[in-house]
Amino acid sequence: MKPEPLQGKDLLSIRDLSPGEILFLLDMTDSFREVNERDIKKVPSLRGKTVVNLFFEPSTRTRTSFEIAGKRLSADVINVTASASSAKKGETLRDTARNIEAMATDVVVVRHSASGAPAYLARDLCCGVVNAGDGCHEHPTQALLDLYTIREHKKEFEGLRVSIVGDIARSRVARSNIIALRKLGAEVMVCGPATMLPAEAGSLGVRVTTRLEEAIEWADVLMALRIQLERGTGTAFPSEREYAATYGINRKRLLGAKKDMLIMHPGPINRGVEMSPDVADGPFSVILEQVEYGVACRMGILYLLAGQRGEGGGGLAGDPPGKSRVRVAEAEDAVAH
């Protein structure tokens, strides 16, 4: 497996990426990390480019991360949140996005509660679209920063064992991570109460267990997911207290773990539910590293996607590489007819 440049104009899902493209994005993350370690954490490469964060779901970490990433590249970053947008007035998603694009935007970062919303927009827009989480589908940038964090500590993915604990069925973080890890040769075990395990576990190529102890003992990396009450997880178990008692990761449960096991969490943590504070802040934890690398990871993605528009910018791209050619061809057809 060798790194190979990103092909599409968008970043919509890990499923679309080849193993080489994933490695390419991890290498980009590595390079941008150096910028974040400087005294002056800013480079001029996206000066004059515009990035719009279009968030239809609440988010602090991901939105801030994209905003910082864009600003460190000198792009103008504009945040649009659903509660303050014309979506409240009944405008369709497509219209909102096309209006934003009409203002000569280079990249739109979309988070939406509907699976497939970013892909729907990407078909319609000439600018780059980044999926920052769509429903129960995927959260590709989270998986990329998770993989980068793992690689920093474990070097190789081949044969690495990663356990993911929590609401696997409804988690876009779990889905993106499982697909990415499998593409790079890691083994994955998912763990949670039966009501939270996906029906398609077999096709994802993962092991399944309902016993937390088994998932911990087996793992080189233990990834806990947030209990997402807003996504209907509440119906999957009787109470948070019972979940914590059975699947909460605490120090006692880690006794059987490998000595160099990593503990990860995509945040925000429900302390005392899926993870106890002493574990979240403990020696195995790389949770804040994940956040740190997230900025570098998103810088790489914005740099690649914003830099691909043809000269002149605005309107239809001159000759953008990848998928957007289809769009240009369509437009030419429309003119011809």
Partner 1 sequence: MREEAGSDQVRRTLRRLAHEIIEQSGDLGNLALVGIRTRGVTLAERLSHIIENLEGIRPPVGVLDVTLYRDDLDRAGGARTRLKKTDLPFSCAGQDIVLVDDVLFTGRTVRAALSALVNFGRPGRVLLAVAVDRGGRELPVRADFIGRNLDVLPDEEVQVLLEERDGRDAIIVRESPDFAKKHIPKDIAPHSSALEDFS
Where on the chain is the footprint of partner 1 (CB under 8 A)? 3, 5-6, 24, 27-28, 30-32, 34-35, 38-40, 42-46, 73, 300, 303-311, 313, 319, 321
- Give min distance, CB of 72 to partner 1, in A: 10
- Give min distance, CB of 307 to partner 1, in A: 3
CB-CB contact of 303 with 28 (8 Å): yes
Judged by CB, which is closer to partner 1: 27, or 289?
Answer: 27
- Give min distance, CB of 313 to partner 1, in A: 7
- Give min distance, CB of 333 to partner 1, in A: 23
DSSP 33: H
Judged by CB, which is closer to partner 1: 40, or 199?
Answer: 40
Distance of CA 222 to the CA centre of its chain: 18
- Give min distance, CB of 306 to partner 1, in A: 7
Judged by CB, which is closer to partner 1: 48, or 205?
Answer: 48
CA dihedral 88, 91, 93, 94 (to 10 degrees): -160
Judged by CB, which is closer to partner 1: 248, or 320?
Answer: 320
Judged by CB, which is closer to partner 1: 193, or 313?
Answer: 313
Give the C-alpha separation, 307 to 294, whole Å: 20
- Give min distance, CB of 37 to partner 1, in A: 10
Judged by CB, which is closer to partner 1: 22, or 162?
Answer: 22
- Give min distance, CB of 51 to partner 1, in A: 14
Whose CA is closest to 111, among 89, 90, 141?
141
Query: Phi and psi for 280 in degrees, rounded to 5?
Result: -60, -35
Judged by CB, which is closer to partner 1: 141, or 163?
Answer: 141
Q: Can you point out the beta strands (E) in the chain?
A: 50-55, 76-81, 107-112, 128-134, 161-165, 187-191, 207-209, 221-224, 262-264
Tokens 């968030």 correspond to 55
Q: Which two tokens stand for residue 82?
A: 């659903």
- Give min distance, CB of 33 to partner 1, in A: 8
Judged by CB, which is closer to partner 1: 2, or 337?
Answer: 2
Q: Which amino acid is at 162?
A: V
Q: Which two tokens stand for residue 146?
A: 């998770």
Give the C-alpha separation, 192 to 196, whole Å: 6
CB-CB contact of 132 with 110 (8 Å): yes
Q: Which two tokens stand for residue 271?
A: 């302390």
Query: Phi and psi for 209 in degrees, rounded to 5?
Result: -145, 155
